[in-house]
Amino acid sequence: MRKMKYWMIAVVMMASVSSFAQDSTYLSNEYAKAMAVYSQAQLYNDIEVQKAALYDMLVLDPGDSSVMRTLSEYYYNNRRFTSSALVAMDILKKYPGNMVATEIAALSYEQLRIYDKAIEYYQEMWLALDDNNILYQVAYLQYSTKRYEEANTNLEILETKLTDENMITLTRQDGTNQEVKFKAALKNLSGLILLDQGNKEEAKVRFNEALALSPDFEAAKMGLEEANK
């Protein structure tokens, strides 16, 4: 009787293994089908079908970081910033320190004007990458949230890391890009902080220093005009 019992257990286990193998084959086939649909939708530029295919792949393999990353980028590029932030956060739960997800989280929260969260993720990026552009963005957002002391500290750090030849690309009022001397951008941001604090005379000095380095710097011209009112 005991042998029969063990034999029945073995039969059940064999059936489970067989079922698992079938399920694995089914999941593999369905995943391949979803990938094929995604690729075809890319050819036809059908973004809604692409999104549906990404969800199919994600359901079939919830830990697929490449699919999650593509989905977060899809949402961000289509200005669905809440969704891109949520997907990025999910990636970071599964894969802490993932730089692509960290960047998407930072960008998404910035677009949502949740600046404290954006600063948090930009700071993580800077600590990992030591990129001057990222630290400047941190300082700018700190200025935007009136965290002036922190912003000035980061400007001082940047001042020690830059040469006179370093450039940065900033956005003009009309949305186009403008390349200026990085040190001019630091002077301008320092001027904005001083202007916010009511120190117009010192702000003028900073704006003029910025314009001495980059005479066509639109933001510095606007800052100086505001300080002269």
What does the DSSP 8-state code read for residue 180? Answer: E
C-alpha span between 158 and 131 (Å, rounded): 10
Q: How many helices (H) and strands (E) does the chain have?
A: 11, 2
Q: Which residues pair with 170 in a beta bridge?
A: 178
Q: Per-residue pLDDT tens, the chain, 229 aa: give them.
A: 334 343 333 333 334 334 434 467 877 888 888 888 888 888 888 989 988 988 888 888 888 888 999 999 999 999 999 999 999 999 999 999 999 999 999 999 999 999 999 999 999 999 999 999 999 999 999 999 999 999 999 999 999 999 999 999 999 999 999 999 999 999 999 999 999 999 999 999 999 999 999 999 999 999 999 999 8
**C-alpha–C-alpha distance, residues 223 and 143, integer Å:** 14
3-state secondary structure of 215: coil
Q: Helical H runs in 44-147?
A: 47-60, 65-77, 81-94, 99-111, 115-129, 132-144
Burial of 31 (0-12, 13-18, 19+ CB in 10 A): middle
Helix 132-144 and helix 115-129, axial crossing angle in degrees, nearest 10: 160
How far apart CA 44 and CA 41 sit, in angstroms, is 5
Structure tokens at 67: 């699919």
Specify the pLDDT at position 100: 94
Q: Are 56 and 30 in contact (CB under 8 A)?
A: yes
Q: What is the pLDDT of residue 23?
A: 65
pLDDT of 47 = 85
Domains present along the chain, CATH in parentheses: 131-229 (1.25.40.10)
Contact 194, 202 (CB under 8 A): yes
pLDDT of residue 20: 37
d(CA 124, CA 105): 11
d(CA 57, CA 119): 32
CA angle 99, 162, 190 (to 5 degrees): 90
pLDDT of residue 38: 86
